[in-house]
Chains A and B, each alone.
Chain A
Amino acid sequence: MATPAKIAERVQAQFGPAVLETVLEGRLPHLVVEAGRLQEVCAFLRESPELKFDFLSAVAGVDLGEQLQAVYLLYSYAHHHAFTLKVNVPRDNPVVPTVSGIWPAADWHERETFDLMGIRFSGRPDLRRILLPEDWVGHPLRKDYKFPESYDGITLRRDEEDWPDPGAEELYK
């Protein structure tokens, strides 16, 4: 079992300038790495005998405004330690290299992140929507997502007269 500080140190020693940010305080110690070198960093985390992160818990997409972020939550069954990697990409061209060759579990997580957050994962086949229908417009988990008025001829707007919106703001004041 290695402490987060130790894990971060190892990655920094190996990749130096590719590590853009190191956060060790708080409940989720993590590194922010350069998108272009994500695959190398992940392969190192997976293969290095002292780290051996063999389990990808999840990939989460986060909307930071100017940027989108992909978060990789990792765990090692061999050493029982956890760590997190983050990658920031510009909102107008959110492309992250895939890690599905390193952890097969990433396949579906990446498809979901693409579907709901609109981060594109390069270098992998079959990147298509998974939860929403193929012809859905937009990526709902983005903060600027507008709820559609209708889908496939079905109106999605509530009838204000019959069902007035109580307003979440009022309800939970």
Chain B
Amino acid sequence: MSPLQTDIWTLNMGPQHPSTHGVIRFVLKTDGEIIADADPDVGFLHRGLEKIAELVPYPSFMPYTDRLDYLAAINMNWAWALSVERLAGIEVPARAEHLRVITAELNRIASHLLSVGALASDMGAFTPFVHAIRDRERINDLFEELCGARLTFNYCRIGGVSLDAPPGWFDRVRGFLDYYEPMIDVFNRLITDNKIFVERLRRVAPVSAEMAIAYGLVGPNLRGSGVKFDLRKDEPYGIYPQLEFEVPVGRGYRDGVLGSCFDRYMVRIEELRQCIRIIRQCLDRIPEGEIQAKVPKVLRPAKGEVYCRTEAPRGEVGFYVISNGEKTPARVKIRTGSWSAMSIIRELSKGWMIADLVAIIGSLDVIAPEVDR
């Protein structure tokens, strides 16, 4: 009898696949259920944001940064504002800095909630996703009260923020934190300790620290591989140097492999607690005062260039901005965390099952608009 014939199959996954978190397509080559090659086909959401940035004045690019990563719009706003502030040498008032940290960390919670919830739902557990969305709604309510929007906040301004907190808002943020902190434990009991969930992730697709750095992984994905690096600590901006918080790293949680999908997941869960800690400190010490620095109506930063990186929920977001002294930038290059996370998938998924690819995408927290820009 001749040996069993096996062929490599070419299989299409996406762009409208429930687990691809937006519009991402993979061209899979599979040997049975084992992945021989997964070539990501990106660009479905390419809107040419870098070109648009060259066509509009500096402050007018702010709403576009919302669309860069619509799950963490304020972090993106802040990254753009900070880049231009560094370029033009603008000082931001203390109250605005505090408001930025509070909103950015709230947004980080909202973003991580969606990430961990979606990963659980990709693994076949739908309930945690609904729990996560329920808590995220409360954050959206807080943001709606603050600036009127629930997704694309457009909250930061160059030199400050757009609106001060309405009366009683800080108390409601405090109320949310008091409500939410025990909810992390509820969430952990619901899914993080679930045996099936843990087994699906804890040994899957480990990334070593060297590989993570070589492929340019950033943020929770990098920390999941055990590299203790957070731009808020190591290249601090805003008022982060005055705040106390830990940087959680992966350590082979649940007897798994260091840098596995579960480690990346756990880093996000642990970061949720740190976000709460940071917001509490800011609420305790926020000063009265201005929320907007004096910025010329038509901003023309002096000739020069800057590369400014900040820590968004998906890791380093870097704006490389060149000014020629005009009212529009000469060039804006946007470096995002999902881009590098996406580029590692091809190498990482080799030899794993198709079902594991879903775990890999979910645990790397890839989001399409940030990849495609």
Which residues of A line the B interface, CB within 8 A?
26-28, 54-58, 60-63, 71, 73, 77, 80, 82, 84, 103-105, 107-108, 116, 130-133, 140-141, 145, 168, 172
Contact partner of A55 (CB less than 8 A), chosen from B213, B327, B333, B339, is B213
Assess whether A73 is in contact with B318, with CB atoms less than 8 Å apart: yes
> Least Cβ distance of A66 to chain B in Å?
15
> Least Cβ distance of A31 to chain B in Å?
14
> Least Cβ distance of B249 to chain A in Å?
13
- Chain B interface, >50% SS class: mixed
**Cβ contacts under 8 Å, A168 to chain B:** 55-56
In the complex, A60→B54 CA distance in Å?
14
**Cβ contacts under 8 Å, A73 to chain B:** 307, 318, 320, 335
**Cβ contacts under 8 Å, A132 to chain B:** 43, 46
Assess whether B234 is in contact with A172, with CB atoms less than 8 Å apart: no
With contacts A131-B43, A140-B51 taken as known, whether A105 is within 8 angstroms of B343 at the C-beta atoms is: yes
Contact partner of B214 (CB less than 8 A), chosen from A104, A131, A133, is A104
**Cβ contacts under 8 Å, B322 to chain A:** 62
Q: Is B42 an interface residue (CB 8 A)?
A: yes
Count chain B residues whose beta carbon lies closer than 8 angstroms to a beta carbon of A: 40
Q: Is B309 an interface residue (CB 8 A)?
A: yes
The chain B residue with its CB closest to the CB of A56 is: B216
**Which 6 pairs of residues, A with B, have the shortest CB-CB distance?**
A105-B216, A60-B333, A58-B335, A131-B43, A108-B343, A27-B306
**Cβ contacts under 8 Å, A141 to chain B:** 50-51, 331
The chain A residue with its CB closest to the CB of B43 is: A131
**Which of B57, B213, B333, B373 has the largest count of A CB atoms less than 10 A from its CB?**
B333
With contacts A27-B87, A57-B307, A73-B307 taken as known, whether A105 is within 8 angstroms of B215 at the C-beta atoms is: yes
Assess whether A28 is in contact with B307, with CB atoms less than 8 Å apart: yes
Contact residues, B250-302 vs A (CB, 8 A): 298
Assess whether B50 is in contact with A27, with CB atoms less than 8 Å apart: no
**Cβ contacts under 8 Å, B234 to chain A:** 80
**Cβ contacts under 8 Å, A133 to chain B:** 43
Cross-chain pairs A/B with CB under 8 angstroms, 26 sampled: A27-B307, A28-B306, A57-B309, A60-B333, A61-B333, A62-B322, A71-B320, A71-B333, A73-B307, A73-B318, A73-B320, A77-B229, A80-B234, A84-B307, A104-B214, A104-B347, A105-B216, A108-B340, A108-B343, A132-B43, A132-B46, A133-B43, A141-B51, A141-B331, A168-B56, A172-B60
Assess whether A62 is in contact with B331, with CB atoms less than 8 Å apart: yes
Assess whether A58 is in contact with B306, with CB atoms less than 8 Å apart: no
Q: Is B18 an interface residue (CB 8 A)?
A: no
In the complex, A105→B215 CA distance in Å?
4
Q: A57-B216, A105-B215, A141-B51 are in contact. List 20 more A-B contacts (CB 8 A).
A: A27-B87, A28-B306, A28-B307, A56-B216, A57-B318, A62-B322, A71-B320, A80-B234, A104-B347, A105-B216, A105-B343, A108-B340, A108-B343, A116-B50, A130-B42, A131-B46, A131-B372, A133-B43, A172-B56, A172-B57
